[in-house]
Amino acid sequence: MKELKPRFFEGLTPSEVASIVSAAAKRRFPAHSVMTREGHPADSLFLMIHGRARGFCMTPQGEKVPVLWFPPGEVFGTAALLPGSAEYLVSTEAVIICNSTNAWLSSSATSRWADPFHPLHPLRR
């Protein structure tokens, strides 16, 4: 994790990073598999460890329009940190030929950081 230096962890102490990482579960996504779906409940936060993913929107004609790229070290699915229920704004899919590995945090794991008074909340840093 140290070699990635995710911006999401900037300003956090090693113990705070360890707390986040310990709550995560590693998952593998084959190339072209969809990891988040636009308009679906945002229930997971992802940290890209290996591989690449792209965020995209679908046109009414069913075409994918890429809008974001996620290299290793980037976080996506941050709507899962919002209080209450939120939806993903874009779909995300693994795009690299080999598997992508992501640290995955469920909404129950991220809910404790969604409180704006929690030291890990992005607005507190």
Q: Are 32 and 95 in contact (CB under 8 A)?
A: yes
pLDDT digits (tens, 9 = 90+) for 51-110: 899 999 999 999 999 999 999 888 898 888 887 889 999 999 998 744 445 555 655 555
Residues whose CB falls within 8 Å of the CB of residue 49, separated by 6 or more in sequence, listed in order: 1, 4, 26, 72, 101, 102, 103
CATH H superfamily, domain 7-124: Jelly Rolls (2.60.120.10)
- Average of per-residue pLDDT values in the chain: 79
Write down the residue that tokens 């909404």 correspond to: 107
Tell me what pLDDT residue 98 has. 41
Banded pLDDT at 113 (limits 50, 70, 90): low
SS3 29: strand
| Among 55, 90, 80, 50, residue whose Cα is nearest residue 69 | 55
Q: Ramachandran region of residue 5, left (φ > 0), alpha (ψ -120 to 50) or beta?
A: left
pLDDT digits (tens, 9 = 90+) for 69-86: 999 888 898 888 887 889
Q: Give, in degrees to the nearest 5, the angle at Cα 70 between 68 and 72.
A: 165
